[in-house]
Amino acid sequence: MRLALAFAGFALALANPLLAQPANSPAPPATEAPQPVATLENRGMPTRELNEQLGAGGLVILMRHERTNVPSRGDDYTRPANDCNVQRNLSPAGAAGAAETGAAIRALGWPIGRVLSSEMCRSTETARYMFGRYEIEPRLMHHDNTPERNVTVSGQELNALLADIPRGGSDNTVMVSHIGNIYFGTGIRLSEGEFAVLQKQEDGHYVILGTFDPGYIGAHARQAQYEAEQSAAAPAN
């Protein structure tokens, strides 16, 4: 009987290597999750200061596309990136939000230069509704679940694009992209329609001056309109 029990215990240990290990054996190493290739300093400026900085130009507006449909289809990576029928697209609220944000930006007078976009329809439509124009930039595409272009690669490509943007200038550069490569390129997570304001330093690296929720842009535009109306109505000295 004892021999049979011992043999059964030995067979069970062979079938399950974890049971065969001594109690004090180290656990197998956990698989590490991918990490951002860069984590930029975020200075967290309030929106009033960000508005003033953007009015002066020379910054990068790095934004995630506007709000998308819920429920929504998944992206089919086997089809072209500009095939809107096989991917997640803007919701009516997202399209309207992009148009409203564009109107607010024009009211505030932010100088906008190049508008670069991922080729995915939710990004190009965000750019089109917001600014009426865009250029396709492949380095703004999100990862496509292949070893050749995983999240780390997409983050590296975003950083390479940022490195190519000239420092300063009179216009702001807009980039419309996706949550994955924005996070893996900069370490910051943006909600749909939100954007980060980036400033290139003398040594070439970037800092994040802060982030802007679209609702605050409209609020600043309305405040600017109110102040202009009050100034126009004031009696001349």
Kindly give the pairing relationship between strand 60-64 and strand 135-136: unpaired
Question: Which one-letter amino acid corresponds to residue 237?
Answer: N
User: What are the tokens at 225?
Assistant: 């309109």
Q: Give the tokens for residue 44.
A: 């967290």
Residues present in the chain in total: 237
Q: What are phi and psi of 114, to 5 degrees?
A: -70, 140
CA-closest candidate to residue 37, choices 202, 136, 160, 178: 160
How far apart are alpha carbons 101 and 28 in whole angstroms? 50
Max Cα distance, the chain (Å): 111
DSSP string, 125-173: HHHHHHHS--EE-GGGPPP-SBTTB-HHHHHHHHHHHHHHSPS--SSEE
3-class SS of residue 53: helix
**Structural contact between residues 60 and 197, judged by C-beta atoms closer than 8 angstroms:** yes
Amino acid letter, residue 125? E
What three-state secondary structure class fits 3? helix
Give the global pTM: 0.82
pLDDT of residue 15: 41
β-strands 195-200, 60-64 pairing: antiparallel
The mean pLDDT values, 10 residues at a time, for the chain of 237 residues are 44 41 52 83 93 96 96 83 91 96 95 97 98 97 80 93 95 97 95 96 95 86 83 78
pLDDT at 24: 55
Name residue 117's beta-bridge partners.
Answer: 136, 176
Residue 153: what pLDDT? Answer: 92
Closest CA to 203 of 143, 176, 163, 170: 163
Task: With beta carbons less than 8 A apart as the criterion, state whether 185 and 38 touch.
Answer: yes
3-state secondary structure of 21: coil
Structure tokens at 79: 């089809």
Residue 109 has a pLDDT of: 95
* Amino acid found at 19: L
Domains of the chain: 47-68+75-203+220-227 (3.40.50.1240)
